Amino acid sequence: GAMSVDSITDLDDNQSRLLEALQLSLPAEAQSKKEKARDKKLSLNPIYRQVPRLVDSCCQHLEKHGLQTVGIFRVGSSKKRVRQLREEFDRGIDVVLEEEHSIHDVAALLKEFLRDMPDPLLTRELYTPFINTLLLEPDEQLSTLQLLIYLLPPCNCDTLHRLLQFLSTVAGHAEDTTDKDGQEITGNKMTSLNLATIFGPNLLHKQKSTDKEFSVQSSARAEESTAIIAVVQKMIENYEALFMVSPDLQNEVLISLLETDPDVVDYLLRRK
């Protein structure tokens, strides 16, 4: 049957080989053959989870301490503290986010990191294909989004999975609930739509926009923004299905690799 993954590290060897093989489609043309081989083997390593430490640390901290925080990602933070945290991560310091670290500072740090990536997480190259999924029938949208995710570089794919997993968890705590003793637990109010509105423009865009461009939005830009939000919302709400590999696709990948890159298949089969 199909398989679902929460991280590369959760896969057994056979599953990881198939899933990771899906991510070999975008080698840099300028790389030497030796570098390509090394990078391919690295991307096939099930214990090498290519998620930036800052992203994983922020997600873990917010999952542990911030799921009940009302307006998480919308409440202001201390720019000074966020800058200090970011500089520590940038210097390679082993930053440990503790309970005393402000939820809003950590949330702002995660947003800033994604916003300031030189190339957005979903890549400029795939901007138009991601947006055009909205033109498809609903049952085709998910399968097309899944194929586009397979085209992302391994690091982007792993990071996207971690982020969507986290955002889905946040959205799952948006509404007020009642505990076993009848006490009301306040929701964080951050629905998938609210989260997509905040994160969408940072994950998917053609070019960075200046403050001036944002202050005078054209109708075309407004429509573009609405489309971005819709795509990211669908990804948050369906993240588990997006990272499910069907048996048919598993077979297609292996057959294709046998024809196009037998060295990779040989490497996979010898990794037992």
- How would residue 257 be classed by pLDDT, with cut points 50, 70 and 90? confident
Average pLDDT estimate for 14-41: 47
Q: Which of 28-32, 97-101, 129-133 has the lowest mean pLDDT?
A: 28-32
Q: What is the length of the chain? A: 272
pLDDT at position 97 is: 86
Q: Tell me the pLDDT of the chain averaged across its residues.
A: 81
Q: What percent of the chain has pLDDT over 90?
A: 49
pLDDT at position 55 is: 95
Half-sphere exposure for 128 (CA within 13 Å, toward CB)? 1
pLDDT at position 27 is: 43
Token pair, residue 132, equals: 């055009």
Of 160, 155, 166, the C-alpha closest to 60 is 166
> For the chain, what are the domain ranges?
1-49+248-272, 50-237
- The strand pairing partners of 3, in sequence order, are 245
Q: Which of 91-95, 98-102, 142-146, 249-253 has the lowest mean pLDDT?
A: 249-253
Burial degree of 180 (CB within 10 A; 0-12, 13-18, 19+)? exposed
Report which secondary-structure segment, H or E, holds 244: strand 244-245
Residue 26 pLDDT > 90? no
Residue 14 pLDDT > 60? no
* Domain 50-237, classified CATH 1.10.555.10, yes or no: yes
pLDDT tens-digit readout, 66-94:
899 998 998 888 899 999 999 998 888 88
Higher pLDDT, 244 or 269: 244
Distance between CA 62 and CA 150 in Å, rounded? 27
The dihedrals phi and psi of 3, each to the nearest 5 degrees, come to -130, 145
Q: Is the separation of the CB atoms in 150 and 123 below 8 Å?
A: no
pLDDT tens-digit readout, 181-235:
888 888 999 999 999 999 999 999 987 655 444 444 566 778 889 999 999 999 9
Distance between CA 201 and CA 6 in Å, rounded? 25
pLDDT tens-digit readout, 153-173:
999 999 999 999 999 999 999
How large is the C-alpha radius of gyration of the chain? Answer: 20
Contacts of 173 (CB under 8 A, 6+ apart): 67, 68, 187, 188, 190
Residue 177 pLDDT > 60? yes
Residue 44 pLDDT > 60? no
83-108 b/e (C-beta count within 10 Å ≥ 16 → b): eebbeebeeeeebebeeebbbbbbbb
pLDDT at position 259 is: 86
Amino acid identity of residue 217, one-letter, is: Q
